[in-house]
A and B are shown apart, each in its own frame.
Chain A
Amino acid sequence: DAKTTQPTSMDCAEGRAANLPCNHSTISGNEYVYWYRQIHSQGPQYIIHGLKNNETNEMASLIITEDRKSSTLILPHATLRDTAVYYCIVKAGGTSYGKLTFGQGTILTVHP
């Protein structure tokens, strides 16, 4: 699975959009981009995933560049409850089962 690079930490004001970048320059054609987050002491929580098109669900939006070498997770209106470690994971899709490789992630702190 391709390696990802994320900033170590980011800050965001409550109510503003949080834009979390991820670089995955070695991504291959069958690999998806997944985002998970982990709120302190809890299990990781799935947020969203995509292959090449932008995706949106009730939690967030995922913007993937045309060359697929980077992506941005957008939390449109961050709240204090969104303070967490956010993990960008690149993993082959399809029918192949494989581990999720959690790197260090980005610590997002949402301020009042």
Chain B
Amino acid sequence: NAGVTQTPKFQVLKTGQSMTLQCAQDMNHEYMSWYRQDPGMGLRLIHYSVGAGITDQGEVPNGYNVSRSTTEDFPLRLLSAAPSQTSVYFCASSYHPAGQGVYGYTFGSGTRLTVV
């Protein structure tokens, strides 16, 4: 099915561990981004990419790295997990840079991460 696929759906990490959240889309979208959602905080942009090989920081990039080697994939790496990174992470992609396409930004179903 066309869309944005995120894996894993759930993850528990110990403080200091590292891991990669996967995001893949099969819609040939150039624009991809990662958001985190904390209770009562709304979604906040972590990193984004406007095409393969091009990434930039959002409003809360500290503690996260990204790379974009292909159009389809945009993994998010947590270098040394901290309890403050406990959150729900959403990946989004779009055909149009401002999300003006017919489908706007397409979001994945999220990864629920707990850091203990």
- Cβ proximity bits B10-49 to A, threshold 8 Å, 1 near / 0 not: 0000000000000000000001010100001011010010
Q: How many residues of A contact B (CB 8 A)?
A: 26
Pair A91/B109 contact, Cβ less than 8 Å:
no
Contacts of B103 in A (CB 8 A): 46
Instruction: Categorize the interface residue count of chain B.
Output: 20 to 34
Q: A96-B97, A99-B59 are in contact. Are A49 and B104 (CB under 8 A)?
A: yes
Segment at the B interface, from A18-26, A63-71, A74-82, A100-108: A100-108
Pair B108/A43 contact, Cβ less than 8 Å:
yes
Given A41, A44, A47, A98, which contacts B98 in the complex, CB threshold below 8 Å? A98
Given A45, A47, A49, A103, which contacts B100 in the complex, CB threshold below 8 Å? A49
In the complex, chain B residues 47-103 whose Cβ is within 8 Å of any chain A Cβ: 48, 50, 58-59, 90, 92, 97-100, 103
- Asked if A92 is an interface residue, CB under 8 A from chain B, the answer is yes
Rounded to whole angstroms, the CA-CA distance of A4 and B45 in the bound complex is 18
Pair A49/B99 contact, Cβ less than 8 Å:
yes
